[in-house]
Structure 1
Amino acid sequence: MNPFLFVLILILTLIYIMFNNIVKYIKFIFLFLFLINNFLFSNCRVIIAENFFNDDIIGYYLSAINVDTGESNLLLFDYQIDFIDCEELPENLYVDFNIQIDVPDYTSGQVSIIEGTFKLTNLTSSVSFRNTDLNSGTSTLPSGVQFLMNASDYHVGITGDEIEELSALILSLGRLPNGRYSFEFEVKNYNCPQFIDCDSAKLIKEVNIFLPEYLSLLTPGSSDLSNEIYNQIHTLYPVFQWNADYCSKCSNYSIRISEYHSDIHASLEDAINSYSILPSGSGFFDIGSQNNLFQYPVTGFEDLQRGNAYVWQVRRTFQTTYGIEEELSDIFIFNIKNNDSGINNDIELNEQNLNLIIQLVGQSKFDELFILESGLLYNYIPSSVIKLDGNEKTISYLLELIELLNNSKIEILEIDVE
């Protein structure tokens, strides 16, 4: 045989063998990818979803829960575990949980109080559970799924002394103390059945509980009936200011103003509960925000009169496991001074206008501009009208700016005096 022909046949044979191997390899690759797609990255997945959580409640009282069994008739949450696109279900599902709390003055930041794992068996494609379904004796959920957790399946992360101290606080308050509560549930990879995608089987819920504790009035007036001079103001459109602690889910503030007559009313409480001028007749007037200042309306309500005395009170409401609760401030009284002293009303309003400017720019910047003799606005008396982009506005517009500033919706970058 011609040696060149032999070499050609040999080369063709090798090419044929290589081609067959390549086809085999390609078939193997396709088979491998098919297995990956159908097993390693299966469409079958499990998720933990929140159907409902009562976010409006900020006060959790012990009376809403049976402290011996944990049973409650008040719906707080509704969660669901779903198996999606699964042809078969696992025999068991292990869910890890971790509960952390951050209670000011009682914990050093956020600490885990309990963590562990519970097991669900006799699974269905959808497992729903509410707090009203659970108590200390729960072993079967309404869907028939069995819930199992032994003492060895969880770990308490705080000491016996800390448990006793926290329990004493809860019992003394009759409710959960103010703070942050974090709940985490997850089917982790080492607990995930091989044919199920567990990447979405995680739920973290943080609850901020800040039940308000104080609401106190600042100005105008005072709670002292006898202090006539201190209670005097000059403007017919006073700015009402108060101080309050943080409330995570409180309603807007409401205000009530009534006229005080010493010959009719025996006390400030008697006066505030009589006919109100704001709102007209009865109830409280919603100021439309959670800001802690409000100016008497220029129109729409009965005008305040010089020489008269008025009482006022502020209210805010919030939801607890008891229902809607309200918090009332103390009651202040103020007198509107007559103009018979001859003092110019614009000058009398100056103190109130300057107070608004202090709230807007801050005490330090105010002192630099108005108080120091070197200040650019030393001895300056602001009028009741300001200009914004060429348009005149009353100085009460500063109230809107103060509210935006307090709510972090605007920021003062620089203050120039022209």
Structure 2
Amino acid sequence: MAEKKKRFDSINDDLTDIMIQYPKITYNYIERFAPIYYPIAMIEVDLNERSFEDFEAIQLIVLKLYALGLNTPEKIASAAGLNSNYVRRMLKVLAGYGHIADGKVTELGKESIIKGKKIELKRTASRFQVNALNGQFIKVKDVISDKQLDTIDETRFSVAHMTALSGASTQYLVEQIQNERYKDYVLNKRGVLNVNADNINNIRFVGLEYALSYVLKLKGCRPVILTKRYDSTQKEFSERIKWKPFSISDSNLKSFGIGTAAPQSTTLEQEYIDKTILLIDEAAKERISPDKYEEILTNAYPFNLSHMRKNVQTHRAIYEASSLSIHRYNGKLLHMLKDFGERNVSIFSNDKLFGNMLYVVPNYEVSVIANQFVNKINDLGWRRVRNYLDDQFESDKDYENLLSDISSSLNQLVR
């Protein structure tokens, strides 16, 4: 088996992506955002598939003549003006399709004649993903890529693991495949034009994997879990990766654009989600203090905290950056300025905050320079602006009037 490509997980990058996808979510609405592992059952289904493909014209002619009673190679060859040896080979092919047997056209052959399509039954094993909290098959457009899934040994101990239910009954899984469009769920597409499940021989549980997801608590809403999905049916690559909920229990989430097409959560599902966030909250109460926020903040960037206004609330802390609090030139500063210019906030949360939020917002002076920076990026491109500033300033060096100097340098950068 090929080794899975290492995945880089960043709570701040992922939350930024979610806020871009759902622009109505601003930092003022976010009460908690914590990583969790969501259980996904991998299921293999052994079944007979009914496939529909175009006939070769001569095959359909031979089958129709056979159905009319011309059931020998010689009779068909005479009627159609064909070589009898060629017809004999053609009849063997049709028998292999299951269209003729014992001197007669089979029911499958009759259906093929009526529909004008070569219909075959093939036994295959198909792999599915199943939501292990409610037993629902996950559609192809909502699947979780293999890169986003971890075995229990690959997961991080510090991140909460949601417990899977005891398991959906085999009959329940069978009914889903029979009642829904089978091809909307199967993962291993084989290029068949149209595939349907004809008969299920066996369903086998392959294993339980975990999708790194996030539990999001918005002001005035019940918590919801968002998981990164990969929709291979989208032509544009930028449209393939989306953060979506499996289900929602609070219609208020739709006002933020979340789960507009998602089903209603079951009572048991929501109970699991509520219990998970309670456990995360308990861990936060025991471990998070104002000092913890400052430790995480200064580990990410060496702010001068004495020149920052702070507002520590329940479940979050907001620090306001001034020009006097920013002295060191590095890549983190440039990304922070870009965040300020685009969203007026930069996120500094991490796993150690247990869902609590840590934000840095710019004061007016910093905001003006951040907007200048983003406008220059929009005009000339990120790479050119970044390279230009890297030439003007030494990385990881402190400057007395850094933001003012950056602003002056940007004024000199022209097309």
TM-score in terms of structure 2 length: 0.22
TM-score in terms of structure 1 length: 0.22
Q: Which has the higher helix share?
A: 2
Greater Rg by CA: 1
Question: Larger relative CO (CA 8 A, sep 6+): 1 or 2?
Answer: 2
Q: Which has the higher strand share?
A: 1
